[in-house]
């Protein structure tokens, strides 16, 4: 690890050394369970991520309340699920008590009477500030048209924050709201006018860049906490420090990837669990050169394939038909003149109702495992294998996702690639041998990626009809376009080059036609743009102002996940893609 990173961790570690090991263990367990810390305010500011912004927001709220003498204010703290609202509520609670203000946190529950929850906490001796959490618990029944509880809550909040003739308001209310709850209540005319219009809103949401920076800050603090936890154990502390060069790059990438789909609470939990898994399994400290690293990675992968993914069930959508297969791994190579594979999968028919393999061997897929990027310039052996067998390349290299897409496009039908980052295998190098296999399965997407790659190869190899019309081919092409796009967008960092995305769409259509021995249609750039616009309308990304990239933020990734799981929505999008491709060709889809 670079000196810069170690210096940052070292400085944090020095400040955490004063903590008792039991306190550190409690902090890490609470983070893993996604429960709020209940510790001194000064320590919270030191330990929590993004504490400067939290402190600024806290002081703004305290100032806003104190100017009103702690009475008559309604405040909304709004953030996505996992953005730290509950933790922030506990920070506010301690800060209010420092000011001498009577304050309480109340957690809403549909099982408890809202009136009892609120009114029993009010003080008769001075203003009360109530912090109300989990208002979302009332949303489901509200959206079903059952308004009683949330209306009652709104009336109680108004009663607390509005005075009567000769009497001041009894206090102020702070609501901890998800974005969904805030938007729902604002849209409702009654709740909007009676409650939300009177509320002063403070946001805990972060931009994608802010969340990524916070995730890396969290990583440093978690490592520093572990070092402080082992303050009295020189061997463990030395083991962590010695392994940092190996484990830190993977953990930093893991933090960055978590930040793309999760709010900070989920990121901190994920990093806490990851660090715990690594630290409890530290055990090997061999220095390896590049050749040894490559051999270690290839041997471990073969063991993993033999023991963990020996049988992979495949569901292959070919147009409107789904075929079931099972891929069985063998470490025996496939040979062709001048080349041989490292291993292969036999793909058989499969009966999912009986859970039994069929008697028909549908295909053999060659497996090549390559460490590094040298193979990109020397594809001759790969092409020889592809003359006889479909080929799945498992690459261990730092390759940009766009370059992986370009390689899939360049190699064409009968080829797919699954890429793993070398930093993962460098982490595996320092783990106990018995832990490395389970860690590889848990902290990589290898199982999913192998399944997707094999399904893609089969989709472009298997025909379900002997005779097909142009309409059949276009319908199948529409399925292939969406499947390919979803896969590539999920694997992208923050954007996909528009040119690469365009070539991917065109190639998916061309390969479908070639599979059936038909000449691919000539598609204009406007047709491709039309398909990309469909993706944009569905929330999968946004074309940049320059038109050179297709940008993907956290919300887009959530839409992509939703579409992958929603078959009805996928079919609807496929029909729209079909219409876009077929209009210039004069074909129509029969529904």
The residues facing 330 across adjacent strands are 344
Q: Is residue 522 part of a domain?
A: yes
293 shares its domain with 432: yes
84 shares its domain with 158: yes
SS3 at position 558: helix
318 shares its domain with 435: yes
Report how many domains make up the chain: 4
CATH number at residue 88: 3.40.50.300
In this prediction, residue 113 has a pLDDT band, given cuts at 50, 70 and 90, of low
- Spatial neighbors of 470 by CB under 8 A, at least 6 apart, are 518, 585, 587
318 shares its domain with 407: yes
Q: Is residue 45 part of a domain?
A: no
Helix intervals (H) in 99-178 = 114-119, 139-143, 148-161
Sequence-separated contacts (24+) of 348-353 with Cβ below 8 Å: 349/324, 349/325, 350/313, 350/314, 350/324, 350/325, 350/326, 351/324, 352/313, 352/324
In this prediction, residue 114 has a pLDDT band, given cuts at 50, 70 and 90, of low
Q: Is residue 41 part of a domain?
A: no
341 shares its domain with 443: yes
Q: Is residue 371 part of a domain?
A: yes
144 shares its domain with 178: yes
Range 28-43 average pLDDT: 91
Q: Does residue 11 carry a pLDDT above 70?
A: yes
- Give me the pLDDT at residue 591, please: 39
- Nearest-angstrom CA–CA distance, 162 and 168: 7
Q: Does residue 367 carry a pLDDT above 90?
A: yes
62 shares its domain with 27: no
Give the model confidence (pLDDT) of 408-444 as tens digits: 999 988 999 999 999 999 999 999 988 999 999 999 9
With beta carbons less than 8 A apart as the criterion, state whether 253 and 259 touch: no
- Give me the pLDDT at residue 589, please: 43
320 shares its domain with 443: yes
- Give me the pLDDT at residue 112, please: 62
- The pLDDT mean for the chain works out to 90
Q: Does residue 64 carry a pLDDT above 80?
A: yes
Q: Which of 416, 433, 464 is the last residue of a domain?
A: 464
Give the residue numbers spanning the domain of 123: 51-203
Residue where the block lists tokens 């699954």: 418
Range 11-17 average pLDDT: 93
Q: Does residue 2 carry a pLDDT above 60?
A: no
Residue where the block lists tokens 């472009």: 460
Q: Is residue 407 part of a domain?
A: yes
478 shares its domain with 498: yes
Q: What is the DSSP string of 256-325?
A: HHHHHHS-HHHHHHHHHHHHHHHHHTB-------HHHHHHHHHHHHHHHHHHTSSEEEEEEEETTEEEEE
Q: Where are the beta strands (DSSP E) in 341-398?
A: 343-351, 356-371, 391-396
Q: Is residue 46 part of a domain?
A: no
Give the model confidence (pLDDT) of 264-300 as tens digits: 999 999 999 999 999 999 987 778 888 899 899 999 9
Q: Which of 434, 464, 494 is the last residue of a domain?
A: 464
Share of the chain above pLDDT 90, in %: 68
Q: Does residue 1 carry a pLDDT above 70?
A: no
Q: Does residue 247 carry a pLDDT above 80?
A: yes
- Give me the pLDDT at residue 477, please: 94
495 shares its domain with 483: yes
459 shares its domain with 313: yes
With beta carbons less than 8 A apart as the criterion, state whether 497 and 548 touch: yes
Parallel, antiparallel or unpaired: strands 356-371 and 391-396: parallel
The residues facing 395 across adjacent strands are 370, 419
Q: Does residue 39 carry a pLDDT above 90?
A: no
Q: Is residue 311 part of a domain?
A: yes
Q: Which of 419, 447, 464 is the last residue of a domain?
A: 464
Structure tokens at 312: 């992979």
How many angstroms from the chain centroid is the CA of residue 536? 20
Q: Is the dihedral of CA 227, 230, 235, 240 positive or negative?
A: negative
Q: What is the pTM of this model?
A: 0.87
- Give me the pLDDT at residue 145, please: 80
In this prediction, residue 121 has a pLDDT band, given cuts at 50, 70 and 90, of low
CATH number at residue 565: 1.10.10
460 shares its domain with 532: no
Residues in the chain, overall count: 591
SS3 at position 338: coil
Q: Does residue 159 carry a pLDDT above 60?
A: yes
């Amino acid at each position: 690890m670079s000196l810069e990173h170690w210096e940052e961790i070292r400085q944090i570690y020095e400040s955490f050394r004063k903590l008792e090991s039991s306190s550190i263990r409690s902090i890490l367990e609470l983070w893993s369970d996604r429960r709020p810390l209940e510790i001194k305010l000064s320590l919270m500011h030191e330990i929590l991520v993004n504490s400067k912004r939290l402190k600024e927001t806290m002081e703004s709220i305290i100032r806003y309340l104190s100017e009103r003498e702690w009475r008559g204010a309604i405040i909304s703290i709004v953030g996505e699920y996992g953005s730290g609202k509950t933790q922030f509520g506990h920070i506010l609670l301690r800060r209010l008590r420092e000011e001498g203000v009577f304050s309480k946190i109340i957690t809403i529950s549909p099982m408890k009477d809202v009136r009892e929850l609120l009114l029993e906490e009010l003080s008769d001796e001075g203003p009360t500030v109530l912090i109300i959490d989990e208002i979302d618990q009332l949303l489901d029944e509200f959206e079903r048209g059952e308004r009683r509880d949330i209306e009652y809550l709104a009336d109680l909040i108004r009663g607390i924050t509005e005075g009567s003739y000769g009497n001041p308001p009894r206090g102020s209310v702070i609501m901890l709201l998800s974005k969904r709850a805030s938007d729902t209540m604002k849209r409702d005319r009654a709740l909007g006018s009676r409650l939300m219009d009177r509320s002063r809103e403070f946001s805990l949401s972060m931009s994608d860049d802010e969340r990524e920076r916070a995730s890396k800050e969290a990583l440093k603090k978690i490592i520093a906490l572990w070092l402080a936890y082992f303050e009295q154990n020189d061997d463990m502390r030395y083991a962590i420090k010695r392994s940092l060069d190996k484990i830190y790059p993977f953990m930093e990438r893991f933090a960055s990837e978590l930040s793309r789909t999760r709010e900070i609470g989920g990121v901190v939990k994920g990093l806490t669990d990851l660090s715990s898994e690594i630290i409890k399994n530290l055990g090997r400290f061999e220095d390896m050169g590049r050749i040894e690293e490559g051999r270690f990675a290839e041997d471990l992968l073969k063991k993993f394939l033999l023991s963990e993914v020996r049988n992979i069930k495949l569901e292959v959508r070919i147009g409107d038909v789904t075929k079931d297969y099972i891929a069985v791994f063998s470490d025996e190579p496939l040979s062709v003149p001048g080349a041989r594979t490292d291993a292969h999968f036999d793909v058989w028919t499969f009966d999912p109702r009986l859970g039994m393999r069929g008697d028909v061997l549908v295909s053999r897929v060659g497996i090549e495992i390559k460490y590094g990027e040298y193979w990109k310039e020397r594809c001759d052996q790969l092409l020889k294998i592809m003359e006889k067998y479909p080929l799945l390349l498992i690459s261990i290299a730092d390759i940009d996702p766009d370059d992986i897409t370009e390689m899939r496009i360049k190699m064409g039908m009968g080829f797919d690639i699954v890429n793993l980052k070398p930093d993962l295998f460098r982490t595996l190098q320092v783990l106990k041998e018995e832990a490395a296999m389970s860690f590889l399965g848990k902290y990589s997407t290898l199982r999913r990626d192998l399944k997707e790659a094999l399904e893609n190869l089969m989709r472009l190899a298997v025909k379900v009809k002997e005779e097909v019309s142009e309409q059949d081919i276009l319908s199948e092409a529409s399925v292939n376009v969406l499947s390919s796009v979803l896969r590539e967008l999920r694997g992208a960092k923050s954007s996909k080059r528009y040119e690469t995305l365009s070539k991917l769409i065109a190639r998916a259509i061309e390969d479908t036609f070639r599979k059936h021995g038909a000449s691919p249609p000539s598609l204009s750039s406007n047709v491709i743009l039309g398909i990309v616009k469909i993706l944009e309308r569905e929330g999968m990304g946004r074309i940049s102002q320059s038109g050179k990239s297709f940008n993907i933020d956290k919300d887009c990734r959530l839409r992509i996940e939703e579409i992958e799981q929603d078959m009805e929505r996928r079919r609807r999008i496929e029909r729209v893609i079909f219409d876009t491709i077929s209009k210039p060709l004069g074909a129509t889809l029969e529904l």
